[in-house]
Chain A
Amino acid sequence: MSRTGYRSGRLPSRREFAALTASTVALSAAACRADTGRSGAPDGVLAGDLLVWTSFTQGPRAEWMEHMAQKFEEAHPDVRVTIETFSWPDFYTKWTMGLAAGQVPDISSALPTHVAELLSVEALAPVDDVIDEIGRDRFAEAALAEGQVDGASYSVPLYTHAQVMWYRTDLLEEAGLEVPTTWAELRHAAEVLTTDDVYGLSVPLGSSDMMATRFLNYYVQSAGERLLNDDGSANLTSPAVLDGIAYWVDMYRNTSPEGSINYDVLQQATLYYQGRTAFDFNSGFQIGGVQQTSPDLLEYVAAAPLPRLTAADDLYGGETSNTPMVVWEASSMQEEAKAFLLSLYETEEYIEFLHSVPGGMLPALADISDEPAYVDDPILDQFADTVEVIDEAVPRGSAIGMEDGPTVQASIMTGQGIIEGLFQDIVLNGTPIADAARDAEEQLNSLFEMAGVEFGQ
């Protein structure tokens, strides 16, 4: 049997063998890499594979996205749209990992705080052309500002919602209480309504979510302050913030289940859905949650503006989420991505999307609110007053830490569980509020600096 490959039976040298092995591995890796054919065709002819990441995990929204992909493929036969869906926490993991590995989608949904972080690493493509095509004046300025850097827009708001105070009309009526308008009134009402069966208000402090940050932010905003100082550093030690921390620690101890120290957003909302809490803070998504979980309670659900320090104080925003779509800079299919993005705003389909969670997702386009087709929805009709409260809160607020536009600090503050850790430190270890707040502030500032923030710039 003759040998082949190496003359006269000479074996490869060690170096040659190593090179051969390396080549084999490289070739295998290359062979394993899918041939996606992802190059967008030039000259306006749309072609190729479009990868879309969305966070729309719930049935109706996910189905709508699939429907839009199908519709786009029909209109552009040379384009194949692949939708990949992730929950928000997974989504965050996915894009941070994808960014490091150079594997990102062409277009995706995002949270405003994600946008801020993505902008800091120049991962997004400008989308002013898409916004102008849809109609710039149809969007709220504040919503556009959350994705703007140096006058250029990098995100297109898809829907919006704001945080409001939810309550149970029947429980308040039984107890002879008015809807609270101040923090003191809320404390009193929550204490009165805390019984063996119902908790007045659950205070969620779990470090796997940003709920404690959210609750603290309400209080701080009501005092006319923010969790970020003007120079970009963290503000956790001002008297207003310390008051806020003390308020929520007190509420946790008196009106909340002990287990809420580990709660995330879903566990928190579930209690209200099940009728186990009298008050809660959330967006219009609360309506759908109650409708699915305890339909018999739906008629007793209502929302009011966030509490203030005194009844004479002006209403404030608290927190508004303008959830946008973004096009990724690394995409070779930006033309196709923008065309697909544009297709999502066609009136009929867009209203269909908003109706998949009525009251939960409010239009990012101002004129849609007045469209008869949009208003014509039984839930929106039943909760007209509540939706109006949310609607009025939207323009007053912004994402936490993004009151002056996108900041990396916003993402760090809401994504690292530092403020949640602060609360847990006070509750579990008995650490004095001022000490815990100072430590958390230092921790946040050091993370800001690590992320390249220069205070006062």
Chain B
Amino acid sequence: MTASIAHTRKPRADGPAPRRRTLKGLWSRLAKADKVGLAFVLPSMVAVVGLLIYPVLSSVYYSLTDQSLLRRDHELVWLDNFQTLITNADFWSAFVTSIRWTAGSIVGQLLLGLLLALCLDKVRRFSGLYRVLLIVPWAFPPIVIGFGWQWILDDVYGFLPNLLTSLGITAENVSPLANPDTVFWTVLAINIWFGAPLFMVNILAALKTIPREQYEAALMDGANAWQQFSFITLRHIRNVIGLLVILRIIWVFNNFELLFLLTGGGPGDMTTTLPIFAYRTGWGLHQLGMASAITVLLLVFLLLMARIAFAALNYWEREDS
């Protein structure tokens, strides 16, 4: 216990400056470390290197080559793949679609999740049942969601188009996943429906930790509902929201299976995001080098996004403390 207190105590102003964590420093720390401990850690390190670092490094390496899936040999082309990509209209189209898909999904999931959490927070009876019902979409595997919605929305045997027609709402069966005007908004709505429960559950958990006294005090001070929400509720849950947003940005931006199952990136390239574009390049055109370059650019972009988001989180934490 004392150790942890000592550990979290800030260094005195006149104390030694904290050492910079350089690679050289790491080596000297390793040199002084307990070798038995290192031996125990080594298998895990090997697993991490093998399962995480190696694939990333191999992706980076292949992005610098002309590796094809149909050949075992390859040549280094250095930055040619990246040069080809940044002048390729299809790449930028996929990038823009990815941004729209991610931004739309996150905003929608956050707003719907927040709304549901606020409602559930007020519910006293059957709240457990509502929570279970609302989290159901999140429990489904993407393959079930993909095929399920495809069958629901199919214009021939789909339940929804036939229902709309039979109710006289539409003159003939609509095809939301094939119509260029509706396809993007349809897949976006499905992803919002799918991801909102994650926001809801986590925000609800954060809401339960807010001391009720703060609301009572605010009421006595004459704060209205909006002020209570923005100065108390939002301040308490914003770190949770921030962390969720970071995680979801990474997941949604990288999401492949849901879109691929729903539309395959079509019709045309209307729902082709970067992961689908990379898949088509790698498995369709066999250009593994080019596909690796796409994934490397994806990684760089997401690291940048995560850096910005973490900076915002750190700022909030400093503000709170």
Interface segment, B101-109, B214-222, B243-251, B282-290? B282-290
Q: Which of B35, B68, B264, B268 contacts A425 (CB 8 A)?
A: B268
Q: Check if B155 sits within 8 Å of A96, measured CB to CB.
A: no
Provided the pairs A14-B27, A96-B286 are in contact, do residues A428 and B72 lie with their beta carbons within 8 angstroms? no
Q: How far is the CA of A421 from the CA of B265 in the complex (A)?
A: 12
* Chain B residue nearest to A417 in the complex (CB): B284
A424 / chain B contacts, CB cutoff of 8 Å: 266-268
Residue of B nearest to A197 (CB): B156
Q: Verify if B67 is at the interface (C-beta below 8 Å from A).
A: yes
- A398-457: which have CB < 8 Å to B? 415-417, 421, 424-425, 427-429, 447
Closest to B165 in A: A196
Interface residues of A in 374-404 (CB under 8 A from B): none
State the majority secondary structure of interface residues on B: loop
Contacts of A75 in B (CB 8 A): none
Q: How far is the CA of A417 from the CA of B281 in the complex (A)?
A: 12
Residue of A14, A93, A259 near B154 (CB, 8 A) is A259
Q: Which of A187-246 contact B (CB under 8 A)?
A: 199, 205-208
Bound-state CA distance A92–B72 (Å) is 17
Is B136's CB within 8 Å of the partner chain A? no
CB of B6 within 8 A of chain A?
Answer: no
Query: Known contacts A100-B67, A257-B175; is A262 also within 8 Å of B268 by CB?
Result: no
**Number of B residues contacting the other chain (C-beta, 8 Å)?**
39
CB pair B178 A97 closer than 8 Å: no
Query: Do B288 and A258 have beta carbons less than 8 Å apart?
Result: no
For B68, list chain A residues within 8 Å (CB): 100
Give the dominant DSSP class at A's interface. Answer: helix
1/0 per residue A242-263: CB within 8 Å of B? 0000000000000001111110
Cβ contacts under 8 Å, A415 to chain B: 284
Chain A residue at minimum C-beta to C-beta distance from B32: A11
| CB proximity of B50 to chain A, nearest CB, Å | 7
Chain B residues within 8 Å of A262, by CB: 177-178, 263-264, 266-267
Closest partner residue, chain A, to B263 (CB atom): A262
Determine if B35 and A25 form an interchain contact, defined as CB atoms under 8 angstroms apart.
Answer: no
B162-198: contact bitstring with A at CB < 8 Å (1 yes, 0 no)? 0000000000011101111000000000000000000
Report B21-35 CB contacts with A as 1/0, cut-off 8 Å: 000000100110001
CB-CB nearest in chain B for A9? B35
Would you call A29 an interface residue if the criterion is a C-beta within 8 Å of the partner chain's C-beta atoms? Answer: yes
Q: Which 10 pairs, one residue from A and one from B, show the smallest C-beta to C-beta distance? A: A258-B175, A208-B264, A96-B69, A259-B175, A259-B178, A259-B155, A424-B268, A261-B267, A261-B178, A257-B156
Instruction: Offer 9 A-B interface pairs, CB within 8 angstroms, sorted by A.
Output: A24-B42, A93-B283, A99-B70, A257-B156, A262-B177, A262-B267, A416-B284, A416-B285, A417-B284
A contact set with B: CB distance below 8 Å:
3, 11, 14, 17, 21, 24-25, 28-29, 92-93, 96-97, 99-100, 102, 117, 120-121, 199, 205-208, 257-262, 271, 274, 276, 415-417, 421, 424-425, 427-429, 447
